[in-house]
Amino acid sequence: MRAGARGFTLIEVLVALAIVAIGMAAVLGALSSSADTVSRLRDKTFAQWFAMNRIATLRLSGQAPPTGKSNGDDDYAGRKWHWAQEVVTTEVPGVERIDVNVRPADLKVENDDSGWLTTVSGIWGDAVGIPNGYQPDWGAQLPRGAPGGVPGTGGIGTPGVPAPGQPFVPNITPQPSAPTQPPQLTNPNQNQ
């Protein structure tokens, strides 16, 4: 060993180990916090899906849900969930609002009105408006009256729809490039 060469003293080693331990504790705390956040977000997402499924099930049943409060426990995504639902009538006849609160069933709470992870609101109703006999074909891809188009969706006098017994002749003349007015929508069931 050379004279004058010296290693670390015991105090220097202990200080270095203390700094490393403090740094590692901070890293582990951040990882733990991140894992808790991910777990909470996962639970909140599943709770929202559960509530939306509950509302969709009520809508698809075809029957008006009874007004008032109800609750229960159900399994979803490998876990048991506690739900509380409130159905209230609205000012619109035939329309009811549904509020669904959800939390994990194993969550310990002080009272039954706390600890909810999510609240989802939906509407159930049979009052959609006064029927006027006009049923648009939302899936039609061709213009009305065009060959292969949806039959019966055009009316006499509708642009591009021939009179009964007349063949359809598409308009293939070039149009001027000047700006034009947007087409006027007409009700095909309206008497002309």
CATH number reported for the structural domain that contains residue 51 in this entry: 3.30.1300.30
For residue 174, being part of any structural domain is answered with: no
Measured CA to CA in angstroms, residue 85 lies from 19, 103, 119, 121 at distances of 53, 12, 9, 10
Cα(73)–Cα(82) distance, integer angstroms = 4
> Domain range holding 45?
40-125
Pairing of the two strands 79-89 and 118-125: unpaired
The answer to whether the beta carbons of residues 124 and 58 sit under 8 Å apart is yes
pLDDT tens sequence across 97-137: 999 999 999 988 887 778 899 999 999 887 665 656 666 56
For residue 61, being part of any structural domain is answered with: yes
For residue 108, being part of any structural domain is answered with: yes
pLDDT tens sequence across 44-59: 999 999 999 999 999 8
Cα(116)–Cα(103) distance, integer angstroms = 5
So what's the pLDDT on residue 31?
87
Strands, sheet with 118-125, edge to edge from the N-terminal-most edge strand:
68-76, 79-89, 95-104, 118-125
DSSP readout, 65-76? PPSEEEEEEEEE
Length of the chain: 192
How many distinct structural domains can be found in the chain? Answer: 1
For residue 75, being part of any structural domain is answered with: yes
pLDDT band for position 62 (cuts 50, 70, 90): confident
For residue 90, being part of any structural domain is answered with: yes
Could you tell me which of 149, 148, 156 has the C-alpha nearest to residue 191?
A: 156
What tokens appear for 190 in the block?
């309206």
| pLDDT surpassing 60 at residue 141 | no
